[in-house]
Amino acid sequence: MKSINASQLQSRLEKNDVPVIIDVREPEEVAQGMIAGAIHIPLGEIPARLHEIPQDRETVMVCRGGNRSKRAIEFLEEQGYTKLVNLEGGMMAWDQQ
């Protein structure tokens, strides 16, 4: 599974090299903050909202610590998605940078 760390993603965003970012956390977690431009799709809603996740663009999956986003990637790969990247350490790592 391909991954990116928080500083690498921040660097890309600063260079306007912006991938699709999907935040799979629950609404109460997202209320505490999200990466600018991220799309909020809670993990349990992914099967019903596949049409919102592009297959032709690099997509970074984000959760609190990296585990739910890994599960999301595993599910999406089973659906034929290939351009998926996991944010290592999730929002905990993002908030620490």
Residues classed as catalytic:
63
Dihedrals phi, psi of 55, to nearest 5 degrees: -90, -15
Backbone dihedral angles phi then psi of residue 87, each to the nearest 5 degrees: -80, 110
Which of 72, 64, 35 has the alpha carbon at shortest distance from 85?
A: 72
